[in-house]
Chains A and B, each alone.
Chain A
Amino acid sequence: AQSVTQPDIHITVSEGASLELRCNYSYGATPYLFWYVQSPGQGLQLLLKYFSGDTLVQGIKGFEAEFKRSQSSFNLRKPSVHWSDAAEYFCAVGSSGGSYIPTFGRGTSLIVHP
C-alpha cells in the first residue's frame, strides 16, 4: 500500500529565506507525486506534479520539487519565501493500480516571519 510522510508539522521561515518542505513516500513502483497548497479558509490548489521524465519539476508560484528515487523523497523548495506563501502544504502520492486515488500526507504548516 502507498503511504506518504511529511515529517514536519510546522516550519517557520523568515521572509526572503529559502524553503524546503520534506515529503517521503512508500510505494513499490514508480509513484505519481503531487504537492498541494491550502491557504487559510480555502480549498487545496495543485502546485506541481511528477509522474515521469525530468526529476526536477517546476510549479506555480515559484515552487519546484525534486524526485529522488533512492531516497523515496519529493521535497518542495522555493528560493525566496514571500509572506503570502504562509499556508498548509500537502504532499500526495498516486498509484498506477487499483482506483488511482492518491494518498495525502498530514500536511506541513508554513509560518512566515516578516
Chain B
Amino acid sequence: NAGVTQTPKFRVLKTGQSMTLLCAQDMNHEYMYWYRQDPGMGLRLIHYSVGEGTTAKGEVPDGYNVSRLKKQNFLLGLESAAPSQTSVYFCASRPENLPSYGYTFGSGTRLTVV
C-alpha cells in the first residue's frame, strides 16, 4: 500500500525560485491537507482541499498556492521562494471530513531556501 506519496523528498532552492511539491494518495480520500513543520512550532496548516477542484486557506497560506485538479493529487506551489519558507512540508489525507478520522501522512519534503 503506497498511501500518501510526496515528491521530491529533498530540495534546495535559491531565493526567488519557484517550485511545486506533489502529493499523491491512492486511498480515494476526499480531503487533503498541506502542513509545514518547524522546530518548536508543531504542525501548521497551509492549505487544504475538501474535494477535487476545491482549495481553502489554512493558518499560514501566504506565499503558497495549491491546486487539486485530480482527486488523488494535491499540489503545493511556491512562486517566489523565501528563506522563511525553509521547512519540512507534510501532506495528509483522510476519507471523510469528520473529526473522528485521523490523518494519513506522507513522509515529507525537506525544503531549504538559500
Q: Could you say which of B48, B102, B106 contacts A43, with CB atoms under 8 Å apart?
A: B106
B107 partner residues in chain A, CB cutoff 8 A: 41-43
B74 within 8 A of A: no
Tell me, in angstroms, the Cα distance from A69 to B43 when the chains sit together. Answer: 25
Contact A46 B103 (CB under 8 A): yes
A99 within 8 A of B: yes
The B71-114 residues at the A interface (CB cut-off 8 A) are 90, 92, 97-100, 102-108
Query: Quick one: closest B residue to A34, CB to CB?
Result: B102
B48 partner residues in chain A, CB cutoff 8 A: 99, 101
CB distance from A82 to the nearest CB of B (A): 22
Query: Quick one: closest A residue to B96, CB to CB?
Result: A100
A-B contact count (CB 8 A): 55
How many chain A residues sit at the interface, stated as a range, is 20 to 34
Contact with A along B34-54 (1 / 0, CB 8 A): 000000111101001000000
Contact A43 B90 (CB under 8 A): yes
Contact B43 A90 (CB under 8 A): yes
Contact B4 A43 (CB under 8 A): yes
A75 within 8 A of B: no
Q: Could you say which of A41, A45, A49, A101 contacts B105, with CB atoms under 8 Å apart?
A: A45
B92 partner residues in chain A, CB cutoff 8 A: 44
- CB-CB nearest 5 A-B residue pairs: A94-B99, A43-B105, A46-B102, A32-B99, A106-B42
Known: A32-B100, A43-B108, A107-B42. 11 other contacts (CB 8 A): A42-B107, A43-B4, A43-B105, A44-B43, A49-B102, A51-B99, A51-B100, A99-B48, A101-B33, A101-B45, A106-B41
